[in-house]
Chains A and B, each alone.
Chain A
Amino acid sequence: MDWSGWALFGLMATGALTAVMIAAQMAGFTRLDLPLVLGTLVTPDPDRARVVGFFLHLIAGQTFALGYAWTFALLGWSSWWLGGLLGLLHGAVALTLILPLLPGVHPRMASHRAGPSSRAGLEPPGLLGLNYGVQTPAVAAAAHVLYGVVLGLLLGAR
């Protein structure tokens, strides 16, 4: 497996994904803020949470990149479009599995069952993250496709 490629390009791909998400947020397309969502696992202060969350996001991105690297190694080849396809799958898993499951484990995220004693501040993402804006699925899919394309282009199939 391309370990050195994984170490470097995993970071680059995660950086690209984060950049797309932040740009989409700034443009008003979505309120999904992955560093905030991850960082508030640790601290309630949004600014500090974003810093912590950014590093948690890097770790998560690096972990997922491992899966891409293994897949490329297993298939014996890689390309930008194969990476893009994997990215699409990755985005679908994030939207349909990871985000909806988060309220069950996130101490500061409410769920649709939250009651008066709930101390959770973050609203739940809902199906496909739609509570964070109707364009959230499209933005998340685009960001993950880009993540996959970067890895597909740069990671070797060794």
Chain B
Amino acid sequence: MSAVPIPPVPIGDYGLLGDTRTALLVSGSGSIDWMCAPAFDSPPVFGRLVGGPGAGSFRVGPARPSTLVSRRYRGDSATLETVWAADGGRLTLTEAMVAEVSGRLLPTSLLVRRLAAEGQPVEVEVHYDPRPARPRECRWSRRNGHLVCESGPLALSLRCEPTLQLEPGTPVRAVVAPGRPLTLVLGVAYGEPLVYVDPAAAWELVAADEARWEAWAAEIVSDLPFRPAVVRSLLTLRLLTYSPSGAPVAAPTTSLPENPGGVRNWDYRFTWPRDASIGVATFLGVGKTREAGSFLSWLLHASRLARPRLPALLTLMGRTVPRERELAWPGYAGSTPVRLGNLAAEQHQLDGYGWVLDAAWVFEKGGHRLYSETWRAMRAFADLVAARWREPDAGIWEVRGSPAHHVHSKLMGWLALDRALRLAERHRVSRGRRRRWEQARAALAAEVRERGVDAATGSYARAYGADDVDAALLMLPLLGFDDPASPRVRATIDRIRSELSAGDDGLVYRYPPGRDGLPGTEGAFLPCSFWLVQALALTGRRDEAVAVFSSLLERSTPLGLYAEELDPETGEQLGNFPQALTHAALVQAALALRDTAGTGQGRGA
């Protein structure tokens, strides 16, 4: 494998296809450079994105140099359409994964890619090169017109109609004439027999799936500002939700760099209880109760073994995240190491409890009564917060240094106790326990106001005694800890805007660059930038919020996707992609704009 980094495809050039069990990233040239199978957190079958050419890819597209004309998702669906001008005609690649396979004789994962020409015949190229990670080699065979790769329990079958003599790892050319499309169907089986699907039948499955996604999107409430962007974010969130367990995967990739060429490369193919909690409020806010309930249900089951401790992250099935290890891969743009597993799983993060209890409160407030079992779990979390809030923690940003007294964590600890007390008004709890929570909440609030405020600026600080600020504090107006109109909340928001600003358009860093002990820098943090929108909207500055939101929407990829971070100068997406937290923050920002419409400012959005 070459050690020399190849100029990479920009992260923002990739589109997402998914079936809610796994997902893939496909570039504007039609190359699938990332796909794990059979699940999001399985080893990659196509891993070129961070593993270089030797890690496999699957390209279909024009054989000769061509011009990308357009790229879009078809309507409110998960079907991607790419159009090139080539050979004097037009070539359209329409592709999707089939999400609904339950109850039918279909493979667990089914990818359909169709090339259609218009105007003139177009010469196309198919380069199919899967490289299952364990073991590295495929055992190849041809059966019933399918090219089959077997690698341990994993089996892939590729069928092409009209028939092409496909050769694994070798580009094969063909001419697609107008009215005679070329359809490729890739089926994936894991530990079970392959199911061969006829390309014509597979195409019908894509059409049916497309209609289902459209119907799903049509159920989203209609009064959302910037609706197309919000619906695309919700579709992305749903595509990143692992249907077998209901867990939202933070991102479908590992080790896409926050600093190209640097070491800030992490494995995000896990679930953070924080993300699931944010997802509860996000889906509830747009009328998707089932998805909200599913996240809460996952939280309940996944946290069962460690309770009352809430792990910072878990696997999609609620297991302990495997120990972090490094792959000898060249990395995206030479960004090494490529990591599997995530060390942050072992950290104590106080804020997680606040997110979870707030999600339970939002769920109950929305008219959905918590089951007694859920309430018992929430009680246990509140007990733990009441007992441990005085301890330092790793904080929301999972900095791998010494724990500190992060003000945001303390505020979220306060939130956990406050929401537990609100829930206690509707559920059974002993007087002694309630008193302990009340005392802890009061003591926590007093300590934060005494030690968490920077006297010079009158704003909350990043940590006790620190002179800098943390963009996570943009959550302040939502908590009910201080009046959103209070000078301290305003001072904190203004300070974040000025000291953590990454540009004029509302992009902010999550903390002052260079303060995390890692070499290199990172980009503007997109979830925080959307939290800024939310904070501005909720503190009576809706016009500013709308302006920032509009600018941020212009920073999305052409397909409406976001990574975790963005290079404020080049506009390049940075970090794992697409990122569930960013899309959830986008939706929550839009909800804040909706909820503050009619407050006297900026009704236009």
Contact = CB atoms under 8 A, between A and B. Distances in A.
Contacts of A79: none
A116 B212 CA distance: 9
B570 interface: no
B246 A115 contact: no
Contacts of B371: 45-47
A119 B246 CA distance: 10
Q: Which of A31, A119, A123 has the most CB of B within 10 A?
A: A123
Contacts, number: 86
A69 B212 CA distance: 52
B452 interface: no
Nearest to B296: A121
A92 to B, nearest CB: 18
Interface in A42-58: 45-47
A118 B103 CA distance: 11
Contact of A133 (B19, B246, B305, B374): B305
A115 B245 contact: no
Nearest to B78: A116
Contacts of A118: 102, 243
Contact of A117 (B100, B301, B305, B307): B100
Contacts of B243: 110, 114-116, 118
Task: Using C-beta atoms within 8 Å of the partner chain, give the interface range for chain B.
Answer: 35 or more
Interface residues of A, number: 27
B246 A110 contact: yes
A111 B190 CA distance: 13
Given A46-B373, A116-B216, A116-B238, A31 B100 contact: no
B491 interface: no
Contacts of A113: 21, 101-102, 108, 244
B317 A131 contact: yes
A114 B102 contact: yes
Contact of B317 (A29, A45, A119, A123): A123
Q: Which of B108, B213, B301, B374 has the most CB of A within 10 A?
A: B301
Nearest to A121: B297
Given A46-B373, A126-B317, 14 more contacts: A25-B304, A31-B305, A46-B372, A110-B244, A113-B21, A113-B244, A114-B20, A115-B102, A116-B20, A117-B102, A121-B246, A123-B318, A134-B319, A134-B320
Interface of A: 25, 28-31, 45-47, 110-119, 121-124, 126, 130-131, 133-134
29 contacts: A28-B305, A28-B306, A28-B307, A30-B305, A31-B305, A46-B372, A46-B374, A47-B371, A47-B372, A110-B244, A112-B108, A113-B21, A113-B101, A113-B108, A114-B21, A116-B100, A116-B213, A116-B216, A116-B238, A117-B102, A119-B290, A121-B294, A123-B245, A123-B301, A123-B318, A126-B317, A130-B319, A131-B318, A134-B320
